[in-house]
Amino acid sequence: MILSDAHCHLQDPRLAGLVESLLETCRKHCIRRWMVNATRESDWETVAALVSRHPGVFGSFGLHPWWQKERSPHWQQALHARLTSHPEAAIGETGLDRWMPYPDLEDQQRVLEVHLELSRALDRPVTLHCLRAWPELTACVKRCPPSARGFLLHSYAGPATDISRWAGAGAYFSFSPAFLAPRKSGIREAFKTVPLERLLLETDAPDMAPPSELALENIPAKVPAKSGEKTLNHPVNLRLCFAVMAADRGLSETQLAGQLESNARRLFGWPESPTPCD
């Protein structure tokens, strides 16, 4: 079997100089593919370099709502050109965020709709971020539907009652290690209702770490964050999500891995799986 990380940020400066060793550790745990999501124009080239340098690394290009105020006047043309030059790439991470300081939701929606239009025009999947803006995201996707290939609601923590509706609209849902914290038990319960053919796993590394006592690996933070963060999420912690999902679904690891890979290939258009892990 092999496993894939549907959403991470290996281009993050906090992981500088560590990527090779992180991926090698992951490979020892049967994790062989990673979708690395850009967040701003200034990291698109870094993502592209990771894709060219590391087998199994795929790229996604877009503007995260936290960073879109930094965008250049010609960002739309630049994004279109980047996607055209990388025909295997996905779109994102993009979305809506009311949780961030001083959100400009109108501007976020304008930027999001550009991404959704590109998804449809280029027939690419798109990864969506949403915090405290689910009604607005629903309206955006309805007004400007993405590619029929589908879209990923990464680290989905929206209303459990909306899962069926989102799935019907083409959504996939990815579960992250942070959801293993006891206070996130409601999200874990909600994920039990995600259709199996719409389920994916992610790490969002170096963010969204599991409780430190559960982590398979921690990465010491070189400079603690304002939140007091002392460790970063290692992408090998995807194995924690995998074990939990198998238990919650009553499936063997082989059964679940096969379904997850089928889902990832369907959404991202990935080729046949590389050599499986024993």
Q: Look at the pTM and tell me if it is higher than 0.85.
A: yes
Query: Is position 273 within any domain?
Result: no
> What is the DSSP-derived secondary structure letter of residue 82?
H
Q: Closest by alpha carbon to 92, among 116, 119, 69, 63?
A: 63
Query: Is position 73 within any domain?
Result: yes
Query: Is position 131 within any domain?
Result: yes
Buried b (16+ CB within 10 A) or exposed e, 130-139: bbebbebbbe
Q: Residue 50 and residue 20: Cα distance in Å, rounded?
A: 10
> What is the total count of domains within the chain?
1
The CATH number for 41's domain is 3.20.20.140
Q: Does residue 36 come out as left (phi exceeding 0), alpha (psi in the -120 to 50 range) or beta?
A: beta
The residue type at 48: A
Count the residues in the chain: 278
User: Whole domain around residue 32: which residue ranges?
Assistant: 3-268
pLDDT tens per residue across all 278 residues of the chain? 999 999 999 999 999 999 999 999 999 999 999 999 999 999 999 999 999 999 999 999 999 999 999 999 999 999 999 999 999 999 999 999 999 999 999 999 999 999 999 999 999 999 999 999 999 999 999 999 999 999 999 999 999 999 999 999 999 999 999 999 999 999 999 999 999 999 999 999 999 999 999 999 999 887 654 455 678 999 999 999 999 999 999 999 999 999 999 999 999 999 987 677 76
Q: Residue 119 and residue 115: Cα distance in Å, rounded?
A: 6
Q: Residue 162 and residue 165: Cα distance in Å, rounded?
A: 5
Query: Is position 276 within any domain?
Result: no
Query: Is position 49 within any domain?
Result: yes
> What is the DSSP-derived secondary structure letter of residue 152?
E
Query: Is position 278 within any domain?
Result: no
